[in-house]
Structure 1
Amino acid sequence: MPMTTKEAAAILKLLEDVYDMGFNKSESKAKTWINFLVEDGDYEPSLQMAKRYIKDGNTYPPKLPHILKKQPKTVKEEPVDEKTAKHRWRMKNDPEYVARRKKILDDFRKKLNEFEVSNDE
């Protein structure tokens, strides 16, 4: 979820309190950090990165890439049609269905092997 200016300012305040980074003295520095955080970062992951940077005992102030973090992208699985859902259920719960399917596939493989041309030809 995108970060608001207020959330970015909260991260800067945390960093300023610990590292005295000069955000209070340089408005342009604070604006630059806030712009990058708002445009390219997400609040929770960036806040966690800031806290981790502090907890890891880093004595030097962080650079923007140490803090800026995006939420990992999630892949949404598309809903499956009824036929596919039924097949998946039967593959898990119906041993007879699985055995029949295996036999059909084995027979098909045998037929393919009968008509297979050797690599020498």
Structure 2
Amino acid sequence: MSMTKQQALEIIKSIRHLYNLDFDKPKLETWVQVLSENGDFELTQKAVKEYINSGNPYPPNLPSVMRKAPKKMEYEEVPDDIKEHRYKMANDPEYRAKRQRAIDEFKRTISKFGVNSDE
């Protein structure tokens, strides 16, 4: 989740105070814009704390502390009829045999017309 401008200012404030860092107006605006558009507040805040706790005496630059939220996988729900088919294929030998007979019959039918079933 992206952070608000207020949250971005909170991150910047903690960096400014701990490292006695001055932000001129363009730099401040850039940090706020980049953090609020791309950064995840909790992950970035955690990265700032880790940077501080690492004992690094130099002030961080934006890429060293900004973190993005991990992308979420999107998937489509499998329809119930497909779930049922998969379950039966895995657990019902009679269903598998019936399906195989239907496939074999279909192959015999199309072979009468000179069509190869592998095409």
- The TM-score with structure 1 as length reference comes to 0.67
Structure 2 matches for 1:1-121, cutoff 5 A? Answer: 1-23=1-23, 26-90=24-88, 94=91, 96=93, 100=96
- Secondary structure of 2:35 counterpart: helix
Count, aligned residues = 103
In the TM superposition, what whole-angstrom CA distance separates every residue of 1:68-98 from its partner, at most 9, and x where no partner exists?
A: 2211111122111112211344466x36469
The 1-side partners of 2:2 and 2:37 are apart by 8
The 1:28/1:80 distance shift into structure 2, 3 A limit, reads same
The 2-side partners of 1:3 and 1:54 are apart by 21
The 1-side partners of 2:88 and 2:18 are apart by 59
The 2-side partners of 1:30 and 1:80 are apart by 48
Instruction: Extract unaligned runs of 5+ from structure 2.
Output: 105-119
The 1-side partners of 2:70 and 2:64 are apart by 16
The 2-side partners of 1:7 and 1:22 are apart by 18
The 1:95/1:63 distance shift into structure 2, 3 A limit, reads same
- Secondary structure of 1:48 counterpart: helix
Instruction: Extract unaligned runs of 5+ from structure 1.
Output: 109-121
In the TM superposition, what whole-angstrom CA distance separates every residue of 1:28-67 from its partner, at most 9, and x where no partner exists?
A: 3222211111122221222122112112222211011111
The 2-side partners of 1:9 and 1:72 are apart by 22
- Secondary structure of 1:77 counterpart: coil
* Identity value in percent: 35
Deviates more, 1:12-21 or 1:83-92: 83-92
The 1-side partners of 2:39 and 2:75 are apart by 25
The 2-side partners of 1:3 and 1:45 are apart by 10
